[in-house]
Amino acid sequence: MNPLDGLDEQQRAAAEVVRGPVAILAGAGTGKTRTITHRIAFGVADGTYTPNRVMALTFTSKAAGELRGRLRAMDVVGVQAKTFHAAALAQLNFFWPTVAGDTAPSIVDNKVRLLAHAADSLRLRPDTGTLRDVAAQIEWRKVTMRPIDEYAMLGRSVGSIGADALVELMSAYERLKDERRQLDFEDVLLACAGMIESEPRVAVAVREQYRHFTVDEFQDVSPLQNRLLELWLGERRDICVVGDASQTIYSFAGAEASFLLEFGTRYPDATVVRLERNYRSAEPVLRVANALMRDRPGALRLQPAVSAREAPAPVVRAYADDAAEADGIASRIRGLLDGANGAPVIPRDVAVLYRSHAQSQPLQHALSRHGIAASVLGGTRFFDMPEVRQAIMAIRAAAVAPTDMSFVAAVRDVLRGLGHTDEAPEAGGALRTAWEARQALLRLAEEAPEHSSMRHFADGLLARAKDQHEPAMATITLATLHAAKGLEWPHVFLMGASEGLLPISYARTLEAVDEERRLAYVGITRAATSLEISWAGGSARGRQPSRFLAEIGTDTLRAVDANATGGGRRR
């Protein structure tokens, strides 16, 4: 089978160029992961690539696991799909003994705790929140490649810690880390880059091993990551980058979309392909997304792959206050789940997105009152949940004992032994969360191949845990806009579209507001079929709707006053 089969014209144009610099400008939902995996598979099939000499770089372990899984499905094995940190750490551990004559330093497991010890040495007593903010400043300083003395010139302060004290604390943190012979995550990248720059034999070995690079989410690279990538490449030019400037939402952490936008300037002969056919969202949703990003730098104009797809017009609803907004959203979701206006919707097809975690509290209470179970994205990972770990251990133990029961019955019996019931507890609270997790494991067993065994199932669960391939729970999803990036749902509610929340109150510069606009864009483009945006008044001075709603305009959003008697009035 030709790896290019099944790609659309734009995807094929990107995938068939397997040598030289390539930039794939991929809009939301345009199949970028499909494109780059098929491109790698095509390069291997035609003999251009040797799999173990290909490095595919991502920003999360989950994304790396998905890349490996898709390549395995195309019988491509051996490609190194890793995060920047994982790739750098592997090289550091391999070369450090040769270069330094000793084992590599250990990695700091808790930056905030180490900072607290450093603060003690200076007789400072900042709270945990302040220490987290200091840790974020340390990370930003390092990924933007600023020495401490250069950072000091910025005159920044954090909470109760003034500019001079902050610099002293950063210096004390570095000294304590050196005394304990430890590196933090950013040091891993810095040390790997320094080793390649200063040790020619290391540079030669690395560049001999990895000859072809693919970088996903290139709009999110920091100056440090870009520098390390340049060192890995050396004089070679076999690099493919893929990204979307409209989804740059980590500028606060050092990401710079300029590396993506100026790729064609750095490589004048680069092949640049735009992916604008969206396979996720219906046309009404795409009109909203395009209107929001109209004329922004690097913006792609998304077109629906299926133009005749039926979908409701996106709606914006105004509520009296935050409690009314939460209750209104919960009521609307209850209607979807019950099939009030058509076929019932399953819970995992619904998501509520918001700018900050604080907005979720009234929402969770409202959902509980309406009997709707919800999972908060970005909380405890599925395979780290105590109930899930306990269940996997019990399944592994049961796998060694003979049984006359069918495979699915045996799994159900193990889960019942751990307290699982056929009936779900009331929505809200730890009991329902634990029940939903065990139920997700049971569904995996029911969906497994007919002749599966307990041992095979247990091994499969461990493999899923390693790749962070989490099963979908039968709950609706609650997530911040940052956590929702890369995901999709048929039905999305975007709440809190008011000034002070989206854009957030501390976004005062044009650059900061643009970042908030891109966050809103990410939220909008998560929706496949229906999109509802809402905002609430109720503050002492009267909260105003987000400026982004005015930018989108009434051509694409149907405005409804949720405060009106009778449940909604067109405005």
Q: What is the pLDDT of residues 191-232, one digit of tens each?
A: 999 999 999 999 999 999 999 999 999 999 999 999 999 999
- Confirm whether residue 28 is marked as ligand binding: yes
- Confirm whether residue 27 is marked as ligand binding: yes
- Confirm whether residue 421 is marked as ligand binding: no
Residues 9-88+189-275: name the CATH superfamily: P-loop containing nucleotide triphosphate hydrolases (3.40.50.300)
Lookup result for tokens 């049984």:
403
Which two structure tokens, joined as six digits, stand for 254?
């050092």
Q: What is the pLDDT of residue 38?
A: 94
**Whole-angstrom Cα distance, residue 75 to residue 73?**
5
Mean per-residue pLDDT, 532-539:
85
Q: How confident is the model at residue 497 (pLDDT cuts 50, 70, 90)?
A: very high
DSSP state of 278: E
- Confirm whether residue 32 is marked as ligand binding: yes
Q: How confident is the model at residue 429 (pLDDT cuts 50, 70, 90)?
A: low
Which CATH code of 3.30.70, 1.20.58, 1.10.10, 3.40.50 fits the domain covering 106-180?
A: 1.10.10
Q: What is the pLDDT of residue 541?
A: 59
Q: Taking the model in full, what pTM does it have? A: 0.84
**Whole-angstrom Cα distance, residue 463 to residue 480?**
28
309 or 63, greater pLDDT: 63
- Confirm whether residue 33 is marked as ligand binding: yes
Q: HSE (CB half, 13 Å, CA atoms) of 549?
A: 24
Whether the predicted pLDDT of 433 surpasses 70: yes
Lookup result for tokens 């067109």:
570
Whether the predicted pLDDT of 559 surpasses 80: no
Whether the predicted pLDDT of 143 surpasses 50: yes
- Return the sign of the alpha-carbon dihedral for residues 4, 7, 9, 14: negative
- Confirm whether residue 26 is marked as ligand binding: yes
Taking only the tens place, the pLDDT of each residue in 274-317 is 999 999 999 999 999 999 999 888 899 999 987 767 888 899 99
Pairing of strands 80-83, 277-278: unpaired
**Whole-angstrom Cα distance, residue 199 to residue 197?**
6
**3-state SS class at 260:** helix
566 or 284, greater pLDDT: 284
Could you tell me the residue ranges of all domains in the chain?
9-88+189-275, 106-180, 284-377+476-570, 382-467
Which two structure tokens, joined as six digits, stand for 19?
């040598």
Taking only the tens place, the pLDDT of each residue in 394-427 is 888 887 777 777 888 888 888 888 888 888 777 6
Q: What is the pLDDT of residue 428?
A: 63
Q: What is the pLDDT of residue 571?
A: 37
Comparing CA positions, the residue from 236, 230, 244, 307 lying closest to residue 273 is: 244
Same fold, 9-88+189-275 and 106-180: no
Q: For the domain bounded by 284-377+476-570, which CATH number is listed? A: 3.40.50.300
Q: What is the pLDDT of residue 461?
A: 83
